[in-house]
Structure 1
Amino acid sequence: MGDLKEFGDWVVGCDNHRACHATSLPEERPDGSLEGPIGDGTLSVSIKALPAPRSAPVVQMALVGEADRRAAARIAGIAIDGRNLGIPVSGSDGLVNLDAVASQKIVDAARIASRIALIDDKGQDIASASLRGWRAAASYIDAEQYRTGTVSSMAAPGDRRWDYSIAPPIPPRPTIVVQPPSPRPPVILSDDDLKALRALDPCQRYTQMSAQEPPRFFRLDADQTLLILPTSCGGYNPLRMPFVIDESGDAREAEFWPYPGNNMANRPELPDLDWSEEERRLVSFGRGRGLADCGEVSEFVWVDGKFRLVHFASMYPCRGSYDYITTYRLDVRQLGEAETDDAQLPGDSGD
């Protein structure tokens, strides 16, 4: 999985299919620096780019932090270094989505600039962000997507045409097929049955506190139930242990398929573990600090008796951005009941 790269007040990353995402960061200045802040830190700017020729960057902007939410209804335009770009926008909810033409105009104007702002109809700033480091982040995207020196370069357009003679086609992305949910209720273990599993709590030996949350059970398929067992490891990264229970009530530690960068040779530590019934995914959110303005999000689906990673996003450094960047993803397709085979569940009469 790709790492994130920090350039000035921007951070950028690309996924396993060369789709890239750069986002602005609230500014930091070292102690004693004579350089003041460029933006006011209340605007987040996200720029995403696909690796395919003829695709355009996508820009999204949002009010964040201490932004005046009442001013969101007054958003009327975008300015770079004080120059109104003439892009009509509205943002009553504090979120500004731009079409391909407007997005490209911003990318072009931001190459040699220091500041971007949302403005009202009088040209006054509503929220602003620093562009320091954006051009370097754009150069990184160019290199990852074979744009460097081409007319479609985001950092420094050249003369060469950007086509598939330069940019290899996007690698095929495997589709992970997930079985539909079973109508059966999950297998529930008694407190006596849970006692041996609670003994695996890695923090119990260091504390007299017991886990504050109840265990939770979710049906995975016709034969298996997921148990998410809380531990006494608390704080802003509560550790919860996943187990898989068969129909007879026997439980084992959940297993995970290896993925790039992790052969899963050791038991994974998955903080703040939860199950999304709607998406049929096991989700882990590891916070880098309590503010959750940095950390990692991992999403797994249940495939052939193990959990498989299908999405990973992160944000580093810890500088007040919540625009997590995806660096690994697989396509997932959940089968409908009509697509499953005709095998009956144990106990079904077939009538």
Structure 2
Amino acid sequence: MKTSLRCFSAAVAASLGLCGALITSGASAGELKEFKDWAVGCDNLRNCTAIGFVADEAQAGTYIRISRGGDRDAQPVVRIASMPDSDVHAPSLQLSLSGLPNGAAPQRLAAYVVYDFVDADLNGGAAMKLIDDLRNAQSLSVELFDGASAKGAKTVSLSGAAAALRYMDAQQLRVGTVTALVAKGPAAASTIRDVPAVPHFVGKVLSPMTAPKRLPPGVGKPDETCDAGEASVIAFKAPDGVSLIGVCQSSGAYNTSYSFWVVRAGSQKAAAADFDSGGGEVVNPGLSKDGLTLSTFDKGRGVGDCGDSAEFAWDGTAFRTLTESEMPECLGVPSDDWPVTYTAVLRNRP
């Protein structure tokens, strides 16, 4: 049985703006949907990603990812990924579909190594052909080769694939058009509305600072669940005499959550930091090298292959959401491939 992760903490989910919570910038985070062995999520710009999983948890680490931009002329991109049991030097992936009415010959794809995975990508007509076949097949076998040596096959379930792709068509307003993946029709691509404007923010550079030994008035105290080995208080310096103080609210085996307060020069009392996604907690926070983004990664389990992640930027008034992503199934999909459910950009970042 799969280890499934929903919005496992209502308080944390609200603080990250997940599970479809509204973003006060005027856009809204998309809701990730599951269709049997498939999950699909779209962001506020109608960019969508569908993931097909293995049905057997013992084969975790192999999946298919279908992504497509929201623009009317955007084409789908297919990625097949498999985690090998040992190092490979000349990788390729062979795809075999079962259950097609007219059968289909196995397809060998050139592949490449990315960290712990072997990936193969399909674009254009090759991607569309595979997607068409997926709708009618029963299962997809992904066999790893190192040169001429077979290294084993794993099976991606296609149960729910057609429904997931139909949902993607609907979210991208492609239903009834020639651009649809499943719900095809005669309407031209030109009938699809333009994608919404990308939300923009100007971020303030933050820098780590030594946490104060005595917390300023108004700042909450660390929770008793916080381990002595964890930093119970963290702090960042912002421009204009502003400090951001993070205080540990809970600490577990692989997740530590913090609430943030804003301390302004000349102010007698700190105020709770405002997040435009609601709440005021981040989990396992990390500051980017350029100091412009604060990340959060709420792990569903220790290896980090499921959960919720987001990035925020401090604009001098509040933490603005830049990106959110989610993975509901703990089946070996790395966070870089998770469906993104919200996207914004910084004007002052290259």
TM-score (norm 1): 0.75
Q: Distance in 2 between matches of 1:187 and 1:76?
A: 48
Q: What letter matches 1:104 in structure 2? A: M
Aligned with residue 217 of structure 1, among 231, 235, 239: 235
Provide the residue aligned with 2:346 in structure 1. Answer: 332
Structure 1 position 85, deviation (Å): 5.7
TM-score (norm 2): 0.75
Structure 1 position 112, deviation (Å): 0.6
Query: Any conservation in 2 of the 1:243–1:251 contact (CA below 8 Å)?
Result: no
Q: Distance in 1 between matches of 2:216 and 2:227?
A: 15
1:26 equivalenced with 2:54 (yes/no): yes
1:235 equivalenced with 2:253 (yes/no): yes
Alignment of 1:69-218 (within 5 A): 69-71=86-88, 73-81=90-98, 83-84=104-105, 86=107, 88-93=109-114, 94-119=118-143, 120=145, 126-158=153-185, 160-165=186-191, 167-179=192-204, 181=205, 188=210, 190-191=212-213, 193-194=214-215, 200-201=221-222, 203-204=223-224, 210=228, 212-213=230-231, 215-218=233-236
Provide the residue aligned with 1:6 in structure 2. Answer: 34
Partner secondary structure for residue 75 of structure 1: strand
Structure 1: 5+ residue stretches without partners: 30-36, 337-351
Structure with the higher fraction of residues in strand conformation: 2
Structure 1 position 278, deviation (Å): 2.9
Deviation per CA, 1:140-167: give whole Å up to 9, x if none: 1111122223322212533x133232x2
Structure 2: 5+ residue stretches without partners: 1-28
Query: Any conservation in 1 of the 2:217–2:269 contact (CA below 8 Å)?
Result: no
Structure 1 position 301, deviation (Å): 0.3
Residues 247 and 164 of structure 1: CA distance in aligned 2, closer, same or farther (over 3 Å)? same
Partner secondary structure for residue 137 of structure 1: helix
Q: Distance in 2 between matches of 1:212 and 1:92?
A: 35
Structure with bigger gyration radius: 1
Query: Which piece of structure 1 moves more, 99-108 or 169-178?
Result: 99-108
Q: Distance in 2 between matches of 1:189 and 1:332?
A: 27
Q: How many percent of aligned residue pairs carry the same amino acid?
A: 26
Alignment of 1:254-293 (within 5 A): 254-259=272-277, 264=278, 267-278=279-290, 280-293=292-305
Residues 57 and 196 of structure 1: CA distance in aligned 2, closer, same or farther (over 3 Å)? same
Q: What letter matches 1:103 in structure 2? A: A
Partner secondary structure for residue 169 of structure 2: helix
Q: How many residues align?
A: 310
Provide the residue aligned with 1:63 in structure 2. Answer: 82
RMSD: 3.3
Higher relative contact order (CA 8 A, sep 6+): 2
Q: What letter matches 1:146 in structure 2? A: L
Q: Distance in 1 between matches of 2:321 and 2:61?
A: 34
Query: Any conservation in 2 of the 1:75–1:92 contact (CA below 8 Å)?
Result: no
